[in-house]
Each structure stands twice: as structure tokens, then as C-alpha cells.
Amino acid sequence: MKRQKRKVDGWVVLDKPLGVTSTQALGKVRFALSAAKGGHGGTLDPLASGILPLAFGEATKALPYVVDASKTYRFTIRFGIETTTLDAEGTETAVSDMRPATAAIEAVLPRFLGTIDQVPPAFSAIKVDGERAYDLARAGETVDLPARAVEIHALRLIGRPDDDHATLEVDCGKGTYVRSLARDVSRLLGTVGHVVMLRRLRVGPFGAQHAVDMSCIQNLVEKTPDLLHTSPPDGILLPVVTALDDIPALAVTAEDARALKDGRAIGLPGTAQRRDGDAVVRLMAPTGLVALGRFDGPLVRPVRVFNL
């Protein structure tokens, strides 16, 4: 008998395990919840673990704000070997006997802060003439991707297990490839390297304090379904608005909320001085989140309405 899908609105912050793709992880959680609609906020490779925000129902409307959010990663570089994929999955492309001193690593890290130009890995999801770069690379084609600007907010050395390895943490903006960062740090140090461990610690507002693993999800759904709609650590589902907490909020009346849900603009007295170009505002009624909107002269127009 086919499983009945149901309306589930909110976020599950999954601690993704190694060995599964983000799409596979989403599918497993969506099946466990019998959720009618879902999406994930930022791909993690099978060889990476950590924070993977999963949006269900109305939360999928907020996915662009999560995908664009800053992220924190912890990763370990293995010096002396560079690979095709820039991680442990690839084959060797270069070797070096050079092993950098700890002081040398700490000295070069500030050079990667701010806006930098970064060449993405050939094995990435970037499209080249309509094809994914990793598909072309796996087919043996040479993939030359142009450098693009990315933001590195912080980069720190947090451990040196031995001469061959260094563990770092990075706070970065959208589109940053940690594998490319490891490659470039290694080369600047006069050697080569690749990533042997990658874990995402944060995506926007979502961190370890929100995360649940797959076994926890399955246990809750099977044994204590009432906890589905409570927050971690007792439950797993976070409200839709959780992903939008850093967007300025404006209070609206119940009447204005109805207008917004109909797609109509509203006037908010006393907000004219707060207009900021195309900045998005979060419109909140006494009952909760109504919409995201933008100013249009003296009015606020809805750009994304939530049916909660």
C-alpha cells in the first residue's frame, strides 16, 4: 500500500553521515516524515559530514536565504599529495616531500581572508555548456573552470596531528570550495595537499545545537510521533521562521496579514525611514510569520508569502 504523504512545514537540521549524498539524505528523512514536499539547503559531498538543513513544506520557500548564508567548515589537509578531486576519492596528480612547519601554516592563513579569487575543483557541480563539471571530468575531459570571487571571513589552524596533516576551520560565504582552499593553502606553502576530512559545522543560523542524526529521526517518528513538532533535543522539527531570524521583522495587523496573503501591498506607518533599497523585511502577525516583503515607496509589497 502506498504511503500517504502529509503536509509538514518546518526545518530538520540533519547531521549528515558520511557515504550518502545530500539528495539521498533528504529522501530518507522525507520518507520517514511522509512529507509531501522537501528540499535541502546546500549540498554536502558523500565524503563530507555535518550540518544539512532540510526544508519541508512552506520552509522550502526560504531555501534561497539558507543557500546564500555563510557557513563554517572544519577540514583536515593531507600534505604531500594532490588528487584529481582534491579529496581522498581521487587519484594522485602531484606529490611533494615538503611538509610545512606549523608556524608557516599560521603565517599564510591571513593571506586568504576577505574577497579572494578561487578556481573551483574540476569535480564540482558547476555547469559547463549545460553539463556538470564532474560529469565531464569523470568522462576524461579536461575541465578548465574560471576563477571566481568568494568571501573568507575567518581561517584558523586548530590542530596539527602530525607533520603530514593540519586541521583548519573556515567561516566563508556562498560558493566557497573547501577543497580548492586546501589546494591553494598547500601550494602557497610550497607543497601540495588534499582534503581527507570535511565536516560542516554551521549553515547560517543552523548549528550543532539544532542537529539530529538519522537514527534519532527514525526513532522519534516510529516511537514518539508527538515529538515530531517540537524543537531539538526533544524533537526534530524547527519552525519555518527559524531560518529567517536575521532578517529585520515588522509587525503587521491581522487585516494587513490577509492583504499580504492575497498578494496586495500594505502601508506601515513610521517605517519610511527604515527603507533600505532592496532589503527584505520579515512581516509578522500575532499568529506568526506571514510573508517576506520589500519596500516600494510608502508601501511594503510581499515577495514571498507563507501559508502557515
Average pLDDT over residues 22-44: 89
CA 299 – CA 101 distance, rounded (Å): 59
pLDDT exceeds 70 at position 229: no
71-203: which CATH topology?
Pseudouridine synthase (3.30.2350)
Place of cell 606529490: 95
Separation of alpha carbons 75 and 78, rounded Å:
10
Active site (annotated) includes residue 15: no
- Give the residue-averaged pLDDT of 245-269: 89
Please give the mean pLDDT across all residues of the chain.
Answer: 87
pLDDT of the residue at 270:
62
Helices assigned H by DSSP within 160-302: 178-188, 214-223, 254-261
Helix (H, G, I), strand (E, B) or coil at 199: strand
Statement: residue 227 has pLDDT above 60: no
Rounded CA gap, 88 and 78, in Å?
9
- For every residue of 19-80, DSSP letters joined together read TS-HHHHHHHHHHHHTBS-EEESS---TTEEEEEEEEEGGGGGGHHHHHTS-EEEEEEEEET
157-180 pLDDT, tens digit each: 999 999 999 999 999 999 999 999
Position 173 scores a pLDDT of 95
**pLDDT tens by residue, 175-225:** 999 999 999 999 999 999 999 999 999 999 999 988 998 888 877 767 666
Please say whether the beta carbons of 287 and 300 come within 8 A.
Answer: no
CB count in 10 Å sphere of residue 276: 10
Predicted pLDDT of residue 128: 63
Q: What is the domain partition of the chain in residue ranges?
A: 10-69+205-242, 71-203, 247-305
Tell me the percentage of the chain whose pLDDT exceeds 90. Answer: 57
The Cα 195–Cα 48 span in angstroms is 10
CATH number of 247-305: 2.30.130.10
> 9 near 234, Cβ under 8 Å?
no
Summarize pLDDT for 93-135 with one digit per residue, the tens: 999 999 999 999 999 999 999 999 998 887 666 666 666 766 6
Whether residue 136 is predicted with pLDDT greater than 70 in this model: the reply is: no
Q: Is the pLDDT of residue 272 over 60?
A: no
15, 45, 87, 171: the active-site residue = 45
Torsion region of 270: left, alpha or beta (phi above 0 gives left; psi -120 to 50 gives alpha) = left
Is 78's pLDDT higher than 60? yes
pTM (2 d.p.): 0.88
pLDDT for 130: 67
140 pLDDT tier (thresholds 50, 70, 90):
low
Query: What pLDDT does residue 280 have?
Result: 87
Decide if pLDDT at 75 tops 70: yes
CA of 105: how far to CAs of 147, 163, 238, in Å? Answer: 23, 11, 39
Helix (H) or strand (E) holding 201: strand 193-203
